[in-house]
Amino acid sequence: MTAQNSSQDNAEAQTNAQPGLPDRGVEVIRHALRTMPFAPGVYRMLGGKGEVLYVGKALSLKKRVTSYTQVGRLPERLRRMVSETASMEIVTTHTEAEALLLEANYIKRMKPRFNILLRDDKSYPWLMLTDGQDFPQIAKHRGKAVKGASLWGPFASVWAVNQTLNLIQRVFLLRSCADSVFNSRSRPCLLFQIKRCSAPCVERIDRQAYGQLVEQARDFLSGKDTALRETLGADMNRAADEMDFERAAVLRDRIRALAQMQDSSVINPASLQDADVFGLWQEAGQTCIQVFFVRGGRNNGSRSFFPAHAQDEAPADILSAFIAQFYDDKPCPAQILVNHALAESPLMAEALALRRGKKVEILNPQRGEKKQVVDHAVANARDALNRRLAETAGQAKLLQGVADVFALDAPPERIEVYDNSHIQGAHAYGVMIVGGPEGFNRKAYRKFRIKGPVTPGDDFAMMREVLERRFGRALREAEEGDTSNWPDVLLIDGGAGQYSAVRAVLDELGVTGVKLVGIAKGPDRDAGREWFHTDHTEPFQLPLRDPVLYYLQRLRDEAHRFAITTHRSGRSKALVTSELDDIPGIGPARKKMLLNTFGSARAVRQAGLEALEAAPGVSRELARVVYGHFHPGWSPD
């Protein structure tokens, strides 16, 4: 790939470019076209501050970008984009398929506002089976692939992977405990008692027999389950013939668990082995895409997505952009089923095959079992979108109610709620949660570790630090013209004293245009009898069953919940800080290795020098350093 920046070529045009004037943007594009090649690649339209407005790909960059100079033929959305274009950048690629992959990567990373955007900020859970151990472990995993482990997935949710993990434990009796727990057991745990583990930790099963269970689990997760059921059935009959009824009962339970796993899927078509099913539904100018994950012939769950796009985007274009971004950071299966034929289906299949390293087939089935599966995904997309539209309508009424109660000019788009949490000043945190037209905006939540110095228990000082840090940054962004994260309402948990203190901080910082509201419980601390404090009015209460009261209570309680969980997380991290962290030369990897070998930091402290030297990965010099750390009076010979 080759990158080119055309801003030097159109410096004169960039100087004159002004938002709202399409001719200026066209002039910028024409300057860029002077040196633009006919090669395939990706182009980026940039605004006056260098922000990415739009990312596109082309088989021929020059031919594709030339179309933007014909403003009269462009839809309104692209005319606005051209009017705001101040410069362009291009990256050439060898093929159009490479350009499509690069385009998807740029869109997902840069989030240009004139592109169709996949809203997917969550990682997906996987099943992980460790390799290279006498007794491998089965467990859940998120994030990057782990060296020395095999992964199966992805699963749509934690619930889906937990259900599969529980059933695999019942069928194959594999251990799920961490190595440190496994190495320190002296008797079987509860999982052995409820027949979900074979207890290799205390040698209730030998290495060879456990290895057979591991291979059976691998075959099953890879979709080779027909032979497994036949093998288990033959073993059960053989055990019964030999009058080993206890073993026959265990095998019977495993066969039943296996059948339950196969019957638990909402969709489980015999014609699908490894596939993702995409169902798109549109209504009221919004789109929902439901994705089903099928791996090894089993349904790994589904997830609903609501991509951001302009009103005039066609369903096939939305689906194409979504799929390209969807597989930017996750492996692609052999088959993809869709309910709209993609405009560039062969190109998309070529690009995904390039990333996968194997053939990828994109199907738009019109009949048969595959069509039924796609229709099922579409029905789920329709139901999910209807629920979202109903929730949005209810949310709009609540926000209008907030505007009426607090005399706002319009329903608030962003409500920020603040709270603190600490124990006698220790592990103090402040938090901010955000609510708006789409409910709680968890991506906008923020945590503030109180740096101080603050007198223990001084909630006013803690709130001052949080607000200074939050609005110090917001004011700098506002000076640069970015007010997208500026709140309409600021809600705090407290009465007149807390309200006055926050009001003073905001006035001192020069924060204007924000409605400050304090919510305080009555003298008996009963929810539902809250008093509201705001400017230019006496404290007041809302009717007991007022929906706006319930909504404000939910906001306050969500901030309190987030503050408590943030505080607990910070306190837990402090509690698990190991005394091994203070030893020179001991990093995270060696710390984990020592804990896995000895079971605890206390056991490391009590270990002799010879035991430390015998530990895997510990050199003679490092063993002496560790031993000397715990025995200050000791010195090497």
The answer to whether the beta carbons of residues 548 and 405 sit under 8 Å apart is: yes
| Rounded distance between C-alpha atoms, residue 402 and residue 435, angstroms | 12
Phi, psi of 348 (to 5 degrees): -65, -45
Give me the pLDDT at residue 2, please. Answer: 60
**Residue extents of the structural domains in the chain:** 21-115, 125-260, 275-387, 415-574, 588-630
Give me the pLDDT at residue 248, please. Answer: 79
The pTM assigned to this predicted structure is: 0.69
| Rounded distance between C-alpha atoms, residue 249 and residue 354, angstroms | 49
| Rounded distance between C-alpha atoms, residue 506 and residue 516, angstroms | 9
pLDDT at residue 265 is higher than 60: no
The answer to whether the beta carbons of residues 34 and 120 sit under 8 Å apart is: no
| Rounded distance between C-alpha atoms, residue 598 and residue 222, angstroms | 36
User: What does the DSSP assignment read for 368-415?
Assistant: HHHHHHHHHHHHHHHHHHHHHHHHHHHHHHHHHHHHHHTT-SS--S-E
Poorest-pLDDT segment among 152-161, 163-172, 246-255, 533-542: 246-255
pLDDT at residue 15 is higher than 50: no
Poorest-pLDDT segment among 81-90, 104-113, 421-430: 421-430
Q: Residues for the chain: how many in total?
A: 637
| Rounded distance between C-alpha atoms, residue 594 and residue 605, angstroms | 11
Beta-strand relationship, 126-130 and 138-141: antiparallel
- For the stretch 258-270, what's the b/e string if a residue is b when 16 or more beta carbons lie within 10 angstroms of its beta carbon? beebeeebebebe
Read off the pLDDT of each residue in 219-239 and give the average, rounded to a whole number. Answer: 75
Phi, psi of 143 (to 5 degrees): 95, -155
The answer to whether the beta carbons of residues 293 and 301 sit under 8 Å apart is: yes
At 532, is the pLDDT very low, low, confident or very high (cuts 50, 70, 90)? very high
The answer to whether the beta carbons of residues 17 and 86 sit under 8 Å apart is: yes
What are the pLDDT digits (tens) for 370-425? Answer: 999 999 999 999 998 988 888 788 888 999 999 999 999 999 999 999 988 766 55
Give me the pLDDT at residue 22, please. Answer: 59
CA angle 475, 479, 485 (to 5 degrees): 55
Give me the pLDDT at residue 489, please. Answer: 94
At 341, is the pLDDT very low, low, confident or very high (cuts 50, 70, 90)? very high
| Rounded distance between C-alpha atoms, residue 60 and residue 183, angstroms | 61
Q: Which span out of 350-364, 424-438, 611-625 was modeled with the highest average pLDDT?
A: 350-364
DSSP single-letter state for residue 116:
-
CB atoms closer than 10 angstroms to residue 498: 19
Identify the CATH class of 21-115. Answer: alpha beta
Give me the pLDDT at residue 269, please. Answer: 57
The residues, any chain, with a CB within 8 Å of residue 303's CB and separated by 6 or more, are 156, 157, 290, 291
- Which pair of structure tokens corresponds to residue 438? 């789409």
pLDDT at residue 171 is higher than 50: yes
Give the per-residue SS3 of 276-340: EEEEEEEECCEEEEEEEEEECCEEEEEEEECCECCCCCCHHHHHHHHHHHHCCCCCCCCEEEECC
- What radius of gyration, in Å, describes the C-alpha atoms of the chain? 30
Give me the pLDDT at residue 455, please. Answer: 67
| Rounded distance between C-alpha atoms, residue 286 and residue 217, angstroms | 42
554 or 527: which leads in pLDDT: 554
DSSP single-letter state for residue 137:
B
What are the pLDDT digits (tens) for 568-599? Answer: 776 555 544 566 777 777 777 777 777 777 77
Helix runs in 56-95, H state only: 61-66, 76-84
Helix (H, G, I), strand (E, B) or coil at 627: helix
Q: For all residues of the chain together, what is the average pLDDT?
A: 83
610 or 270: which leads in pLDDT: 610
Give me the pLDDT at residue 60, please. Answer: 94
Count of helices and strands (H, E) across the chain:
21, 19
At 522, is the pLDDT very low, low, confident or very high (cuts 50, 70, 90)? low
Give me the pLDDT at residue 220, please. Answer: 79
At how many degrees (to 10) do helices 368-405 and 547-575 cross? 110
At 225, is the pLDDT very low, low, confident or very high (cuts 50, 70, 90)? low
Give me the pLDDT at residue 622, please. Answer: 84
Beta-bridge partners for 48: none
Q: Which CATH number describes the domain made up of 415-574?
A: 3.30.420.340
- Which pair of structure tokens corresponds to residue 230? 């036949």
Domains 275-387 and 415-574 share a fold: yes
Beta-strand relationship, 275-283 and 335-338: parallel
Poorest-pLDDT segment among 59-63, 304-308, 386-390, 430-434: 386-390
Give me the pLDDT at residue 278, please. Answer: 96
CA-nearest of 563, 440, 390 to 492 is: 563
- For the stretch 614-629, what's the b/e string if a residue is b when 16 or more beta carbons lie within 10 angstroms of its beta carbon? ebeebeeebbbbbbeb
Calculate what percentage of the chain has a pLDDT beyond 70. Answer: 88
Identify the CATH class of 275-387. Answer: alpha beta
Calculate what percentage of the chain has a pLDDT beyond 90. Answer: 32
